């Protein structure tokens, strides 16, 4: 795995460096885009943890993201708690919700898993849509950002805010990489490849799936508290299933089952959306077409195409070391089949 893993690390490093370089050149609008990319990169990585590694494709992920944002707003604005405490409380509370939901939804599989996560997510959407205390369908404004002036960071300037979020995204990327390399990560890989065999090996499959779901939901909720501070306004749209779909698109676009993929995918999708929406009001058409072609292309998103191109480059044999080649291909085909 070393050759491929190194390539992906380099790919992620290149993406983060590119974001950093863009940050030095960007103006107000650019910094806003960067903050959005960082939030969605975190969200997409958390979805990839269950969809790509554990094989649990959720269409309700945005609901956990939105619940994090709403609980954060509730704690910090309605109850008047300090911002930092509200972030921790909202993330932890949503994590508990995700644990309960995970214990329920992992009882069903395949397309039914997609449907049940969609249904539970939409229940959350309905709840905040109808909840007048938190603004209902009008949304909820007046959210404040974390005060970090005591270490010299004024988060109310877009440049500082976006750089902080990029650093947070990088930290989460590194932490998740450690997790994937751990025995827990190995179990997730195993669940993705062959659940039956893992069960035969005596693993408490559902307990692991539930833990992965809970962890993923916790990270999503944390991303929610960040997006609430970024836009300082939240609406039930944050919980809608179409947003879950978009995040899934980011994961697929970048490369499923790789942590670098979601980061690349989030950057590409947010950029594309802003660029295309400047050029044409029908950007959804191009985005949808792009998605259809990427999925039908059969390779594992941008990372998959980059790895393919790297191997095809002339000069020297860049095929993966022995023992990995055909197996790796098979793995990719299996990924595509899911």
Nearest Cα to 240, choosing from 127, 97, 112, 111?
127
Nearest distance from C-beta of residue 96 to other proteins, angstroms = 19
Q: Shortest distance, CB of residue 284 to other proteins, whole angstroms?
A: 4
In the complex, least distance from residue 305 CB atom to other proteins, rounded to whole angstroms:
16
The distance of closest approach from Cβ of residue 256 to other proteins in the complex, given in angstroms and rounded to an integer, is 8
Residues forming contacts to other proteins in the complex (CB under 8 A) are 51, 57, 59, 104, 107-108, 110-112, 114-116, 118-120, 122-123, 126-127, 129-130, 241-242, 245, 248-249, 252, 282-285, 287-292, 295-296, 336-338
Nearer to other proteins among residue 23 and residue 290 (C-beta):
290
Q: Which of 61, 82, 72, 180 is nearest to 125 (CA)?
A: 61
- Residue 169 vs 269, nearer CB to other proteins: 269
Least separation in angstroms between residue 116's CB and other proteins is 5
Which of 332, 292, 141, 287 has the alpha carbon at shortest distance from 228? Answer: 141
Please provide the distance, in angstroms rounded to a whole number, between the alpha carbons at the two ends of the chain: 21
Question: Of 302, 263, 238, 309, nearest to 61 (Cα)?
Answer: 238
CB 89 within 8 A of CB 81: yes
Q: Which is nearer to other proteins, 55 or 224 (CB)?
A: 55
Q: Which of left, alpha, beta for 322 (phi over 0: left; psi -120 to 50: alpha)? A: beta
CA distances from 234 to 78, 101, 155, 218, 266 (A): 14, 23, 18, 18, 20
Residue 211 token pair:
């833990």
Phi and psi, residue 144, nearest 5°: -105, 155
Q: What pairs with residue 153 in β-bridges? A: 148
> What count of other Cβ atoms lies within 10 Å of the Cβ of residue 285?
11
242 neighbors 226 (Cβ within 8 angstroms): no
Q: Measured from the CB atom, is 31 or 192 closer to other proteins?
A: 192
The whole-angstrom separation of Cα 178 and Cα 217 is 18
Residue 158 or 257: the one with the smaller Cβ distance to other proteins is 257
| Residue 151 vs 296, nearer CB to other proteins | 296
CB 150 → other proteins: shortest distance, Å?
A: 43
Least distance in angstroms from the C-beta of 296 to other proteins: 6
Nearest to 35 by CA among 277, 272, 270, 302: 270
Three-class SS state of 233: strand
Q: Is 173 or 213 the residue whose CB approaches other proteins more closely? A: 213
Which one, 127 or 233, has the nearer CB to other proteins?
Answer: 127
Output the smallest distance, CB 199 to other proteins, in A: 19
């Amino acid at each position: 795995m070393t050759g491929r893993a190194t390539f992906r690390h380099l790919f992620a490093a290149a993406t983060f460096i590119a974001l950093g370089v863009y940050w030095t050149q960007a103006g107000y609008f650019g910094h806003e885009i960067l903050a959005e990319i960082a939030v969605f990169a975190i969200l997409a990585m958390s979805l990839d943890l269950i969809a790509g590694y554990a094989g649990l494709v959720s269409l309700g992920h945005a609901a956990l993201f939105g619940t994090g944002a709403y609980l954060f707003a509730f704690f910090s604005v309605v109850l008047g708690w300090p911002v930092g405490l509200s972030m921790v409380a909202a993330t932890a509370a949503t994590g508990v919700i995700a644990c309960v939901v995970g214990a329920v939804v992992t009882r069903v599989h395949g397309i039914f898993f997609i449907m049940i996560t969609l249904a539970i997510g939409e229940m959350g959407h309905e709840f905040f849509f109808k909840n007048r205390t938190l603004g209902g369908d009008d949304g909820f404004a007046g959210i404040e950002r974390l005060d970090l002036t005591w270490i010299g960071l004024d988060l109310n300037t877009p440049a500082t805010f976006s750089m902080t979020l990029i650093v947070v995204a990088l930290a989460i990327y590194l932490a998740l990489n450690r997790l994937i390399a751990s025995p827990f990560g190995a179990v997730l890989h195993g669940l993705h490849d062959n659940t039956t065999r893992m069960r035969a090996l005596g693993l408490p499959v559902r307990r692991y799936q539930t833990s992965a779901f809970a962890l993923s939901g916790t990270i999503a909720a944390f991303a929610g508290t960040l997006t609430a501070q970024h836009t300082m306004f939240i609406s039930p749209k944050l919980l809608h299933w179409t947003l879950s779909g978009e995040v899934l698109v980011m994961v697929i676009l970048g490369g499923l089952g790789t942590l670098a993929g979601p980061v690349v995918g989030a950057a590409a999708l947010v950029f594309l959306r802003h660029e295309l929406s400047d050029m044409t009001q029908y950007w959804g058409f191009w985005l949808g077409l792009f998605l259809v072609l990427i999925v039908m292309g059969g390779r594992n998103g941008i990372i998959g195409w980059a790895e393919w191109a790297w191997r095809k480059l002339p000069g020297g044999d860049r095929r993966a070391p022995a023992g990995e080649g055909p197996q790796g291909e098979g793995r990719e085909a299996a990924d595509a089949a899911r």
